[in-house]
Amino acid sequence: MDFRLSEEQEMIQDAARDFAQSQIVPVAAAFDESGEFPLDNIRQMGELGLMGVEVPQAYGGAGMDGIAYVLAMIEIAKADAAHAVIMSVNNSLFCYGILKNGTETQKQKYVRDIASGKKIGAYLLTEPQSGSDAAAMNTQAKLSKDGSHFVINGKKSWITSGPVAEYGVLFAVTDPDKGARGISAFIVEADRPGYIRGKKEPKLGIRASATCEIEFDNYHCPAENMLGEPGMGFISAMSVLDAGRIGIASQALGIALAAYEASIEYVKERKAFGQPIGAFQMTQTKIADMKTRIEASRLLIYQAAIAKQSQAEGNGGRFTTEAAMAKLFASETAMFVTHQAVQIHGGMGYSREMPIERYFRDAKITEIYEGTSEIQRMVISRSVTGIR
Residues that bind ligand CAA (CB under 6 A): 85, 89, 123, 125-126, 132-135, 160, 180-181, 234-235, 238-239, 241-242, 318, 320, 369-371, 375, 379
Helix (H, G, I), strand (E, B) or coil at 19: helix
Q: What are the residues whose beta carbons fall under 8 Å from the beta carbon of 22, sequence distance 6 or more?
A: none
Tell me the one-letter amino acid at 103: T
Name the E strands within 21-72. none
Q: Is 203 helix (H, G, I), strand (E, B) or coil?
A: coil
Give the count of alpha carbons within 13 A of 360, CB side only: 19
Query: How many Cα atoms occupy the beta-carbon half-sphere of 135 within 13 Å?
Result: 14
Looking at the DSSP assignment, which residues form a beta bridge with residue 183? 173
Going through the chain in order, the beta strands assigned E by DSSP cover: 121-124, 140-143, 149-160, 167-173, 183-189, 195-200, 211-222, 226-227, 271-272, 275-276
Nearer to ligand CAA, 34 or 132 (CB): 132
Minimum distance of ligand CAA from residue 364's CB (angstroms): 13
Q: How far is the CB of 245 from ligand CAA (least distance, A)?
A: 8
Cα separation, 348 vs 360, whole angstroms: 13
Helix/strand/coil percent split, the chain, to 5: 60, 15, 25
Distance CA 368, CA 363 (A): 10
Is 370 marked active-site?
yes
Nearer to ligand CAA, 149 or 197 (CB): 197
Beta carbon nearer to ligand CAA, 337 or 379: 379
Q: Which of 376, 387, 247 is nearest to 320 (CA)?
A: 376
- Residue closer to ligand CAA by CB (options 248, 256) is 248
- For ligand CAA, give the closer residue by CB, 9 or 101: 101
Question: Least distance (Å) from ligand CAA to the CB of residue 163?
Answer: 13
Q: In this structure, which amino acid lies at residue 275? A: Q
Q: Tell me whether residue 200 or residue 291 sits nearer to ligand CAA (CB atom).
A: 200
Min dist CB 131 to ligand CAA, Å, is 7
> Which candidate in 127, 322, 367, 370 is catalytic?
370
Q: Report the C-alpha gap between 348 and 179 in whole angstroms.
A: 51
For the bound state, the minimum distance from the C-beta of residue 343 to ligand CAA, rounded and expressed in Å, comes to 28
Residues paired with residue 168 on neighbouring β-strands, in sequence order: 122, 188
Residues annotated as catalytic (active site), given as ranges: 370
